[in-house]
C-alpha cells in the first residue's frame, strides 16, 4: 500500500487506514498494527489531525526527546489558559502535574517523590494490598465460573491506590467517587460544560487531601508512610508544596487506575489462552515479574494512549512537525514491532525484554512499576493457587468490550471456568 502525500514530502494516512475507534480494530488490532509498522513507521493522520508514530525505534526516540512535551497546553487546539484569579484547586493542581511542568520542575518532582516510592515505604503497602486481593477471591468463593473484570479488575486498582496514599478503609467509597471524577476530567473529548462538571466532583477529594497534608505538616515528624514521605521530602533546600503533593496523588489515579484495570483482565486472558505458559508460571513463580511485562506487551490493551505536543518546529524521522502539533505515540503497535520482536505474536513469559517500552522511556518513565508488580503479582499468584486448572469459558472467555472507552481496548467481561473439582 502506498502512502498518500499531501504537504510536500509528508506521509499521510486517513481513518480508512487506521481508525482506533472502530469495533473491528478494538476486537482484533494486530493486522492493522502490522500494516502501520510495515508501511507507516510515522505518518500524519489527516482525519485525527495528529501525527502517529508506530515503530519501536521511533516511539523510543520520541519519548526521550524533550522537544516533544506531554503538556497538552502546548497543543495548537488547547483551551485558553485560565487567569490565576479564576483557578480552583483542580486547576492549581493540574498546573503542577508531572505532565504539565517544565523539564526542570519535572526533575525536581521526580527526585522529591523518590523516597515515597522507596522499598521501605512500598513494603508496608504490600500487606494492605494482599488483604484486598484475598477479599476479592474470598468473595468469588466456590463459584464454577466468574467474570474477571467484575470480580477483580473493577475491585483492585482504585482501592490499591487508596491504600497506597493512606485513605482510611471507611472512606474508600469517597475515594472511589473522587477517582472517577479525576479520570473523567482528563478525557480529551469533553465539552467545556462536561469538563467543569467533572472537575467539580474532584474538589471535595482535593479538600480532603489538603486537610490531611496540613495535619501532617503540623506534626513534629510527618510520618514514614507514603503521604508522610511526600510531606517530609527535601533536597538541597527544596520541598514539595501542597499542590505538588496533590498532583502526585492525581497522577497515580489517572495513570494507575485504568492501566491496572486492563492489566488484570489482559493478564488472565493471556495466561488462560496459553495454558502451557499458565502451567509454566505455576511451576516457576520466580518468572512472575518478567511474565507481567510480557503479558502487558503481548496483550497491548491501549487504543489511543500516549501523546506528545511539539514545542517547536522540528524535523523528526524525515518529517516536518510543526510547533503545537499533536503526536500519538502508538506504543501498542510498537510492542508488536517485528524489528524489535521477530516473534511478536508469541506469548513467552521467559522472553528477554531488555530495552522494552512497556513502561515508557526517558523522563516520564512509569512511576508505578512497583505497584504493578505487587498488585499484578499478588492477583496472579492467588488466582493460580485457587484455580490451577482454570480455563476460559467457551474457550474464548465470552469477552465483551467497552467500545467507547477513551483510551483502552477495555475488556468489560472475561468469563473463566474455575474447574475446582477437576
Q: Which is nearer to ligand HEM, 146 or 370 (CB)?
A: 370
Give strand pairing partners of 13: 45
Please state, in angstroms and rounded to a whole number, the distance separating the CA atoms of residues 102 and 31.
38
Q: How far is the CB of 98 from ligand HEM (least distance, A)?
A: 4
Q: Which is nearer to ligand HEM, 198 or 371 (CB)?
A: 371
Is residue 296 at the binding interface for ligand HEM, with CB under 6 A as the rule? yes
Q: Which three cell numbers stand for residue 257?
A: 487506575
Q: Which is nearer to ligand HEM, 44 or 306 (CB)?
A: 306
In this structure, the strands spanning 326-329 and 145-147 are: unpaired
Is residue 116 at the binding interface for ligand HEM, with CB under 6 A as the rule? no
Q: Which is nearer to ligand HEM, 11 or 329 (CB)?
A: 329
Choose, by CB under 6 A, the member of 358, 378, 380, 392 that binds ligand HEM.
358
Choose, by CB under 6 A, the member of 44, 75, 99, 387 that binds ligand HEM.
99
Q: Which is nearer to ligand HEM, 11 or 109 (CB)?
A: 109
Is residue 175 at the binding interface for ligand HEM, with CB under 6 A as the rule? no
Let me know: does 58 contact 330? Beta carbons within 8 Å.
no
Choose, by CB under 6 A, the member of 68, 175, 243, 306 that binds ligand HEM.
306
Choose, by CB under 6 A, the member of 59, 63, 271, 392 that binds ligand HEM.
63
Please state, in angstroms and rounded to a whole number, the distance separating the CA atoms of residues 153 and 258.
10
Q: How far is the CB of 99 from ligand HEM (least distance, A)?
A: 6
Q: How far is the CB of 240 from ligand HEM (least distance, A)?
A: 14
Q: How far is the CB of 34 from ligand HEM (least distance, A)?
A: 21
Q: How far is the CB of 103 from ligand HEM (least distance, A)?
A: 11
Helix/strand/coil (H, E, C) string of the chain?
CCCEECCCCCEEECCCCCCCCCHHHHHCCHHHHHHHHHHCCEEEECCCCEEEECCHHHHHHHHHCCCEECCHHHCCCCCCCCCHHHCCHHHHHHHCCCCCCCHHHHHHHHHHHHHHHCHHHHHHHHHHHHHHHHHHHHHHCCCCEEEHHHHHHCCCHHHHHHHHCCCCHHHHHHHHHHHHHHHHHCCCCCCHHHHHHHHHHHHHHHHHHHHHHHHHHHCCCCCCCHHHHHHHCEECCEECCHHHHHHHHHHHHHHHCHHHHHHHHHHHHHHHHCHHHHHHHHHCHHHHHHHHHHHHHHHCCECCCEEEEECCCEEECCEEECCCCEEEECHHHHCCCCCCCCCCCCCCCCCCCCCCCCCCCHHHCCCCHHHHHHHHHHHHHHHHHHCCCCEEHHHCCCCEECCCCCCECCEEECEEECCCCC
Is residue 4 at the binding interface for ligand HEM, with CB under 6 A as the rule? no
Q: How far is the CB of 226 from ligand HEM (least distance, A)?
A: 11
Q: How far is the CB of 392 from ligand HEM (least distance, A)?
A: 21
Restricted to residues 254-293, the positions that interact with ligand HEM (CB under 6 A) are 255-256, 259-260, 263
Let me know: does 304 contact 22? Beta carbons within 8 Å.
no
Q: How far is the CB of 296 from ligand HEM (least distance, A)?
A: 5
Q: How far is the CB of 12 from ligand HEM (least distance, A)?
A: 24
Site string for ligand HEM, 194-233 (x = CB under 6 A): ----------------------------------------
Give the interface segment with ligand HEM, choosing from 45-53, 253-261, 313-321, 394-402 (CB under 6 A): 253-261
Please state, in angstroms and rounded to a whole number, the distance separating the CA atoms of residues 36 and 316.
17
Choose, by CB under 6 A, the member of 271, 371, 379, 393 that binds ligand HEM.
371
Is residue 360 at the binding interface for ligand HEM, with CB under 6 A as the rule? yes
Choose, by CB under 6 A, the member of 13, 161, 213, 246 that binds ligand HEM.
161
List residues binding ligand HEM (CB under 6 A): 63, 70, 98-99, 110, 161, 251-252, 255-256, 259-260, 263, 296, 306, 331, 358-360, 364, 366-368, 371-372
Amino acid at each position: 500500500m502506498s502512502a498518500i502525500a499531501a504537504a510536500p514530502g509528508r506521509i499521510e494516512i486517513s481513518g480508512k487506514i487506521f481508525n482506533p475507534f472502530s469495533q473491528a480494530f478494538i476486537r482484533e488490532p494486530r493486522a492493522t498494527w502490522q500494516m502501520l509498522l510495515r508501511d507507516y513507521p510515522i505518518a500524519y493522520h489527516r482525519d485525527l489531525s495528529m501525527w502517529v508514530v508506530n515503530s519501536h525505534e521511533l516511539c523510543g526516540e520520541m519519548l526521550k526527546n524533550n522537544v516533544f512535551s506531554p503538556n497538552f497546553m502546548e497543543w495548537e487546539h488547547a483551551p485558553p489558559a485560565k487567569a490565576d484569579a479564576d483557578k480552583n484547586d483542580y486547576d492549581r493542581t493540574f498546573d503542577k502535574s508531572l505532565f504539565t511542568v517544565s523539564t526542570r520542575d519535572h526533575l525536581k518532582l521526580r527526585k522529591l517523590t523518590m523516597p515515597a516510592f522507596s522499598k521501605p515505604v512500598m513494603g508496608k503497602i504490600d500487606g494492605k494490598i494482599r488483604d484486598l486481593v484475598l477479599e476479592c477471591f474470598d468473595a468469588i468463593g466456590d463459584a464454577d465460573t466468574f467474570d474477571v473484570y467484575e470480580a477483580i479488575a473493577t475491585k483492585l486498582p482504585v482501592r490499591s491506590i487508596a491504600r497506597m496514599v493512606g485513605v482510611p478503609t471507611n472512606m474508600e467509597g469517597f475515594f472511589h467517587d473522587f477517582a472517577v471524577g479525576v479520570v473523567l476530567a482528563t478525557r480529551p473529548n469533553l465539552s467545556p460544560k462536561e469538563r467543569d462538571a467533572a472537575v467539580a466532583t474532584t474538589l471535595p477529594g482535593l479538600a480532603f487531601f489538603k486537610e490531611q497534608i496540613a495535619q501532617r505538616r503540623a506534626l513534629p515528624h510527618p510520618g514514614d508512610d507514603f503521604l508522610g514521605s511526600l510531606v517530609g521530602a527535601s533536597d538541597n533546600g527544596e520541598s514539595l508544596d501542597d499542590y505538588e503533593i496533590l498532583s502526585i496523588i492525581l497522577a497515580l489515579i489517572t495513570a494507575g487506575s485504568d492501566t491496572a484495570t486492563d492489566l488484570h483482565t489482559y493478564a488472565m486472558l493471556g495466561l488462560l489462552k496459553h495454558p502451557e505458559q499458565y502451567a509454566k508460571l505455576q511451576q516457576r513463580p520466580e518468572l512472575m515479574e518478567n511474565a507481567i511485562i510480557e503479558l502487558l506487551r503481548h496483550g497491548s490493551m491501549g487504543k489511543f494512549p500516549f501523546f506528545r505536543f511539539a514545542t517547536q518546529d522540528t524535523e523528526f524521522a524525515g518529517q516536518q512537525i510543526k510547533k503545537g502539533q499533536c503526536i500519538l505515540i502508538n506504543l501498542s503497535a510498537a510492542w508488536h514491532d517485528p524489528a524489535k520482536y521477530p516473534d511478536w505474536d508469541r506469548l513467552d513469559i521467559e522472553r528477554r525484554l531488555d530495552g522494552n517500552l512497556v513502561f515508557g522511556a526517558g523522563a516520564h518513565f512509569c512511576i508505578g512499576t512497583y505497584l504493578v508488580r505487587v498488585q499484578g503479582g499478588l492477583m496472579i499468584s492467588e488466582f493460580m493457587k485457587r484455580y490451577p486448572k482454570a480455563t476460559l469459558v467457551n474457550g474464548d472467555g465470552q469477552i465483551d468490550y467497552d467500545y467507547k472507552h477513551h483510551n483502552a481496548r477495555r475488556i468489560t467481561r472475561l468469563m473463566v471456568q474455575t474447574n475446582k473439582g477437576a
